Structure 1
Amino acid sequence: MYSQNNMSFMPEQDLLHTILTDMKRTVGEYTTATTESNCQSVRQLFTDLTNDTLRLQGDLYRLMSQNNMYSASSKALRVDLDKQIQEARKKQQECQQFIQQKSSSVRGYGQPMQQQGQPSQQHNPYYM
């Protein structure tokens, strides 16, 4: 309808920005679905969808950037990036250590080992 009158629904740049924003949101939702999936095949499906959407988002960003439709934010200092990477790796290592620690303290049929000197959960009135 709009193309017959040489009019468009909205300016191309606005439409592409809307699509780009929607792709970013979709990636976040796929990532959440991936992390919450209990079934390996569903998890793989959402992982694949996430990766495909990231590729499309990257292609659209490059197209818009090449056509001066998207201005990237200012460049970050390498030292700031390195600091963020170091903090993320540290947090990841802490999480892995926590998981290993908790996994090694579980025995039998998923029952946690009772530590000496600590009351059981049944006798702790503050445990919920």
Structure 2
Amino acid sequence: MNQSNSASLPEQDLLNTILCDLKRTVGEYTTATTESACPTVRQMFTHLTNDTLRLQGEVFQLMQQQNQYVVPSKALREELDKQIQQSQKTQQQSRQFVQQTLDGVGQFQPMAQQQPNSQNSNYM
């Protein structure tokens, strides 16, 4: 096996490439998890996401210990709290929307069955 290709990149560049690839992979696995209808497939992608996050954390810690990764400045606590509150609010609104939509599905189905050819402005 020819080692010259991997030796041409400094270790920091290799680790940075691996770290970036792990971050991208986590995003792809997360998307696959959220789009999986099959519980078994969803669970598989959840495990892959968690394993990749663990590995990404290990690579990050290694790079940080070797001073190969500069940690961004710390965020203000107020900003973090604001973002957490906004995320919680969005999550609650999403839950309410889903619940209202699910509750409304039973109400709209009989109408659609009674008038299959009607032009309803609520549906496009």
TM-score by length of 1: 0.83
What's the secondary structure of 2:97's corresponding residue?
A: helix
Matches within 5 A, 1:84-99: 84-99=83-98
Relative distance call for 1:107 and 1:19 in structure 2 (3 A) is: same
State the one-letter code of the partner of 1:9.
S
Q: Which has the higher contact order (CA 8 A, sep 6+)?
A: 2
Alignment pair present for 1:2 and 2:34? no
1:33 is matched with: 32
Q: Matched residues in 2 for 1:63 and 1:35: separation?
A: 30
State percent identity of aligned pairs: 60
Alignment pair present for 1:123 and 2:124? no
2:20 is matched with: 21
2:42 is matched with: 43
TM-score by length of 2: 0.85
Q: Matched residues in 1 for 2:73 and 2:24: separation?
A: 22
Listed one character per residue, the Cα deviations across residues 19-69 of structure 1 (whole Å, up to 9, x for unaligned) are 000000000000000011111100000000000000000011011001100
Listed one character per residue, the Cα deviations across residues 66-122 of structure 1 (whole Å, up to 9, x for unaligned) are 1100001111000000000000000000000111111112228x82768xxxxx993
Alignment pair present for 1:111 and 2:103? no
Once the two structures are TM-superposed, the CA of residue 125 in structure 1 deviates from its matched residue by 5.9
Q: Matched residues in 2 for 1:91 and 1:121: separation?
A: 37
Alignment pair present for 1:65 and 2:64? yes
Decide which structure has greater helix share: 2
The RMSD of aligned alpha carbons is 2.5
What's the secondary structure of 1:61's corresponding residue?
A: helix
Q: Matched residues in 1 for 2:81 and 2:19: separation?
A: 27
Any unmatched runs of 5+ in structure 1?
115-119
Q: Matched residues in 1 for 2:93 and 2:111: separation?
A: 22
What is the aligned residue count? 119
